[in-house]
Amino acid sequence: MKLAFSGIALSLGMLVGTSFGQSYNAQPNSAYQQYRANYRNVAPGSRYQSARTAFRMNLQDARGSEVNDPLPSPSDIKADAPDQQVIGTSPSHSTPTVAEAVNGGATYGTTQGHAGDGYGFSGGCNSGYVDTGSYVNYGSLSSNCNLGNCFGAGSGKLFGGGSGLGRGVFGGGNCGDQSCTDGMCGDCDTGCSGNWYGGIYGLIMTRSDDYGVTLSYDSAFPNMPTLRTDDGQDDYFGGFETRIGKCFCNNWSVEGIYWGLYPDIHDCQVQQPSGYVGDLRTGLGFNRLVYDPGTGVVPVSQMFGDATRTAVAHRLRRSYEVHNAEINFVNARFATCGKFSHSFLAGVRYFKYNDGFSFSTDYVNTMFGDDPANELHYSVDVNNHLVGFQFGDRMNYQLGCKTAIIGGANFGVYNNHITHRQRIIGGNGYAYDSATLADYNYRSTDDDLAFLGDISLGVAYNVGCSWRLTGGYRLTAASGIANSSKQIPRDREFYMPNTVQRIHSDDSLVLHGAFFGVEHVW
């Protein structure tokens, strides 16, 4: 049985070989004939590399003195070597070129010595391809990252400059007719199996001023506030971001992202004597509210400073945090092996924004904390929990082998679940309504429609074959948000529970600043 099969195979091989040689009218000692002979005679484990070496050594002769010896057609190559793969078209030749193996080698002429002649590659990139229609390299990774499309958005290892992950920006490859187990996808060497990417980034951002409310003023200049709710905000604050993703076939990937901002608690304090001409008073109307510091009931407005008595010190303390978590499906179907590439994303997102302030008074001295019974604190805290669906786009424009412009935008519609609490409390308990004796300690919740989106623009720089550095500018904006300062009741409404508990969610939030980080693919 084996003998018969071998005889049939030998006969077919001779028939195909004869047809192949006659079809191209090649000279007996031509470079191509040497290539074929070398290809057939090398050991199975090394025949691709040996064949490629022999062909390169004779490349000049094949293109110079033997111009009548044309390159083979795809069908002839398939007949002569069925495990070969036809890859692309040379810019200098009308007939297709060949890669020695799907996972084994490079296309013809991958050295810089032939740069610009249709076989080589421009600049400092030793492989990849120059123009649409020229070669695509499926070879394995070299020490100099000499694989992939030098100028393509997803060339090599997701970022450009090597072999590996993605045609798109943070996207998977296109398997085409290949199996995911082949380690190669479509026309950009986008290995299907085991392709992960991730990054970690630092954030330095600021928050646009929210709605400012006057808390404190000098009675001699009532129209000139000494303390407002927007005085207690940091100019810039830090945070971090991390992401991890997994690439699949057909240009898909799935990723998880978390980022957060953690501003320090910020204090502002004004006090007597500080050059004020008049008394230190509050701009809030705490009518009907009283507090007992242990020496008898005192109106809350008097403790914060009114016409009957001045406050000695006022302090504002602001705090807020931002947390973001999302899961996205990314599709790089719009990615190409040219300079520009972009990918579409869609996913679910959770965005949490906490905002709070505490306005404190001390009507005995300027040291807060030393006499809690004679200190009173009015505080408001709101938590915004946005959950919804988002979609967006990411783009990558290669400026060269290592540098790229990156950017993205996304937008979503969300349900904002808001929790709200406000209270007036001192070292001796809560302030209360003098008529109903109800403590001033209120909680409420509400749900409202919100919108949230991001825009970013930056630069990426490849470091090695699987790392890159990124940096740029980001803006995050949301509407349908509840800010703490907007929850302060108007004058003479502090004693109305329904008014106090009503949540005002018609504010906006704008965060913007710089990001910088490092990304890795494996």
Query: Mind listing the pLDDT tens digit for each residue in 144-163?
Result: 333 333 333 333 334 433 33
Query: Which amino acid is located at 419 in the chain?
Result: T
Least confident window among 42-56, 222-236, 250-264, 479-493: 42-56
Q: Is the pLDDT of residue 278 over 60?
A: yes
Q: Is the pTM of this model over 0.75?
A: no
Last-in-domain residue among 140, 165, 184 = 140
| pLDDT level of residue 137 (50, 70, 90 thresholds) | very low
**Highest-confidence segment of 61-65, 200-204, 233-237, 276-280:** 200-204
**Are 104 and 226 contained in the same domain?**
no
The 8-class DSSP code of residue 173 comes to -
> Does 201 have pLDDT greater than 90?
yes
> What's the token pair of residue 202?
């630092």
Q: Looking at the predicted structure, is the pLDDT value of residue 89 above 60?
A: no
DSSP state of 72: P
Tell whether 18 and 127 lie within a shared domain.
yes
Residues 75 and 201 in one domain: no
In a domain, 520, yes or no: no
Whether 511 shows a pLDDT value over 80: the answer reads yes
**Does 311 reside within a domain?**
yes
For 84, the token pair is 């070969």
Do 369 and 270 lie in one domain? The reply is: yes
Residue 184 forms part of a structural domain: no
Average pLDDT of the segment spanning 186-202: 66
Per-residue b or e along 82-119, where b marks 16 or more CB atoms closer than 10 Å to that residue's CB: eebbbbbbbbeeeebbbbbbbbbbbbbbbeeebbeebb
Percent of the chain predicted with pLDDT > 90? 40
In this prediction, residue 68 has a pLDDT band, given cuts at 50, 70 and 90, of very low
Of 140, 161, 178, the residue that ends a domain is 140
Contacts of 247 (CB under 8 A, 6+ apart): 158, 165, 166, 171, 172, 173, 190, 192, 195, 196, 197, 253
Give the pLDDT confidence score for residue 310 in this predicted structure. Answer: 84
Is 104 among the domain residues?
Answer: yes
DSSP state of 376: E
**Cα separation, 396 vs 174, whole angstroms:** 18
CA 180 from chain centre, in angstroms, equals: 26
pLDDT at 448 over 50: yes
Task: Give the integer Cα–Cα distance in Å for 167 and 157.
Answer: 9
When divided into structural domains, the chain yields a total of 2
User: Are 136 and 278 within one domain?
Assistant: no
Q: Do 293 and 425 lie in a common domain?
A: yes
Instruction: Quote the domain boundaries for residue 115.
Output: 2-140
Query: At residue 93, does pLDDT exceed 80?
Result: no
In the prediction, which pLDDT does 264 show? 77
Q: How far is the CA of 58 from the CAs of 38, 53, 165, in angstroms?
A: 12, 9, 34
Q: Please indicate whether residue 2 or residue 475 has the higher confidence score (pLDDT).
A: 475
How much is the average pLDDT of 108-128?
32
Considering only 39-43, 64-68, 131-135, 222-226, which range has the smallest mean pLDDT? 131-135
Burial of 236 (0-12, 13-18, 19+ CB in 10 A): exposed
Closest by CA position to 232, among listed 204, 255, 263? 263
pLDDT averaged over the chain?
71
354 shares its domain with 502: yes
pLDDT at 56: 46
- Between these two residues, 477 and 74, which has the higher pLDDT value? 477
SS3 state at 366:
coil
Provide the pLDDT for residue 283: 84
Identify the residue with better confidence: 458 or 29: 458
* Residue 254 counted as domain residue: no
Same domain for 124 and 11: yes
170 located within any domain: no
| Res 459: pLDDT | 97
Q: Tell me the C-alpha distance between 395 and 335, whole Å.
A: 9
DSSP for 116-163 reads: TTTSS-STT--SS-SSTTS--------TT---S-TTSTTTTTTTSSSS
Lookup result for tokens 């009507």: 363
**Within a domain: residue 506?**
yes
Q: How far apart are CA 392 and CA 133, in angstroms?
A: 30
Q: How confident is the model at residue 210, as a pLDDT?
A: 67
Residue 277: its pLDDT value, please?
A: 64
Instruction: Summarize the confidence of residues 52-56 as an average pLDDT.
Output: 46
The string of DSSP codes covering 201-222 is: EEEEEEE------EEEEETTEE
Please return the burial class of 11, using the count of CB atoms within 10 Å of its CB with bins 0-12, 13-18 and 19+: exposed
Residue with the larger pLDDT of the pair 62 and 225: 225
Residue closest to 227 by CA, chosen among 263, 272, 264? 272
Which of 144-148, 213-217, 333-337, 420-424 ranks highest by mean pLDDT? 420-424
pLDDT reading at 281 higher than 70: yes
pLDDT at 47: 42
Measured CA to CA, the distance from residue 157 to residue 91 in angstroms comes to 25
**Given the DSSP bridges, would you call strands 432-433 and 429-430 parallel, antiparallel or unpaired?**
unpaired
Name the nearest CA neighbour of 392 among 230, 289, 257, 223: 257
User: Which strands, in side-by-side order, build the sheet including 214-218?
Assistant: 221-228, 214-218, 280-282
Look at 338 and 458; give whichever has higher pLDDT.
Answer: 458
Residue 234's pLDDT is what? 66
Last residue of a domain, one of 125, 140, 155: 140
- pLDDT at position 14 is 40
Q: Is a pLDDT exceeding 70 seen at residue 10?
A: no
Q: Cα separation of 228 and 61, whole Å?
A: 83
**Beta pairing class for 441-463 and 403-426:** antiparallel
Tally Cβ neighbours within 10 Å of residue 247. Answer: 31
pLDDT band at 100 (very low <50, low <70, confident <90, very high): very low
Angle, CA of 266, 222 and 311, to the nearest 5°: 60
Under the banding of pLDDT at 50, 70 and 90, the label for residue 271 is confident
Domain match, 241 and 126 both: no
Token pair, residue 497, equals 């529970």
Same-domain check for residues 214 and 282: yes
Model confidence at 226, in pLDDT bands (50, 70, 90)? Answer: confident
111, 238: one domain: no
Residue 189's pLDDT is 43
What average pLDDT does this structure show over 50-66? 44
pLDDT band at 84 (very low <50, low <70, confident <90, very high): very low
Min mean pLDDT across 85-89, 135-139, 282-286 is at 135-139
Q: Under 8 Å CB-to-CB from 393, ≥6 apart: which residues?
A: 342, 343, 344, 345, 408, 409, 410
Closest CA to 299 of 421, 427, 433, 422: 433
In this prediction, residue 34 carries a pLDDT of 54
Residue 395 lies in a domain: no
Say if residue 128 is in the same domain as residue 233.
no
**Whole-number pLDDT of residue 407:** 96
Q: pLDDT confidence of 88, banded at 50, 70, 90? A: very low
Helix axes 47-57, 31-41, angle to 10 degrees: 160
